[in-house]
A and B are shown apart, each in its own frame.
Chain A
């Protein structure tokens, strides 16, 4: 295989990374808002009895006492903030990949922030489980979030260390 063929193969691989990252970024940027709008639209249609949706097992999440409604509201706001940060970081990360910026300090920071967001999500669930409420059934705590957060933080740290090793090797040469 000559140098030109090797170079084009490398270029194709880089293009593939960029293309996949672009697809994921576009899905995040436009697909998720569309999904949210769609869900809200279905909710409105169901409320006006135009269509029928299956009833949740615990539909009383927002219809009970004031304390209960407050907890649901708090849960909603905290979840929304966490998702907003996740959305912003994910867009930024895939934007970097799309530009061909792969193993740099910025991408590592984004990956680690995403890990921290998972951890915060777990903490939000844990805190809300401690808040007294007449109906606890709608609230759950996923240990998988805690596990995922540590795994993502670890992978981010691993990339960072590998990046440092490479930089030092380049400097040594």
Chain B
């Protein structure tokens, strides 16, 4: 009975978090086309290359954030459906952490490109736009957790087979 209650509690909390992740997806889904439209609009009116470069560089960042959010949504959706630590659920968590890493790497690339080091190599420094180390650390933590879950899940499967 208590066992059932625990499972129901996990499903309930996962459902709430899944809804929050869905709201995030909708937000990114709106922001990407809006930013794309704004970039096209700006390019036709304003002839400032730096503003245009910044706007163009932001779009892939939103796309990567959207994919990360999507993977987390899938992970929470699996939990909501009662699939707690199976290969696919852990796979979605792993994918989310990988995309988060890609997002962080892109952020660094974006900061480099925004400064256009080929135009003014003497002023170039990542000190001007320090990348968020917290984001990198969060992605690595999730990556470790996903790997740990996968190993533990396979360990359990093997133990069951041995018994």
* Interfacial residues, chain A to chain B (CB-CB below 8 A): 3, 6-7, 9-10, 13-14, 16-17, 20, 24, 54-57, 97, 102-103, 114, 118, 121, 142, 144-145, 147-148, 151-152, 154-155, 157-158, 161-162, 164-165, 168-169, 172
Asked if A3 and B162 make an inter-chain contact with CB atoms under 8 angstroms apart, the answer reads yes
Contacts A/B (CB < 8 Å), 9 sampled: A13-B155, A14-B155, A17-B151, A17-B155, A55-B127, A97-B148, A118-B138, A155-B145, A168-B3
Within 8 A of A (CB), among B1-24: 2-3, 6-7, 9-10, 13, 17
Asked if B3 and A165 make an inter-chain contact with CB atoms under 8 angstroms apart, the answer reads yes
Q: Place the interface of chain B in its size category.
A: 20 to 34
Complex interface: chain B residues within 8 A of A161 (CB)? 6-7, 9-10
In Å, the complex CA distance between A76 and B120 comes to 33
Complex interface: chain B residues within 8 A of A9 (CB)? 158
Asked if A148 and B158 make an inter-chain contact with CB atoms under 8 angstroms apart, the answer reads no
In Å, the complex CA distance between A162 and B10 comes to 9
In Å, the complex CA distance between A3 and B144 comes to 30
Within 8 A of A (CB), among B71-93: 72, 79, 84-85
In Å, the complex CA distance between A121 and B133 comes to 13
Q: Which of B10, B135, B141 contacts A158 (CB 8 A)?
A: B10
In Å, the complex CA distance between A136 and B144 comes to 35
Asked if B151 and A144 make an inter-chain contact with CB atoms under 8 angstroms apart, the answer reads no
Within 8 A of A (CB), among B109-156: 125, 127-128, 132, 134-135, 138, 141-142, 144-145, 147-148, 151-152, 154-155
Given contact pairs A10-B162, A154-B13, a sample of 12 additional A-B residue pairs in the complex whose CB atoms are under 8 Å apart? A6-B162, A10-B159, A13-B154, A17-B148, A54-B127, A57-B125, A121-B134, A142-B135, A148-B141, A151-B138, A162-B10, A169-B3
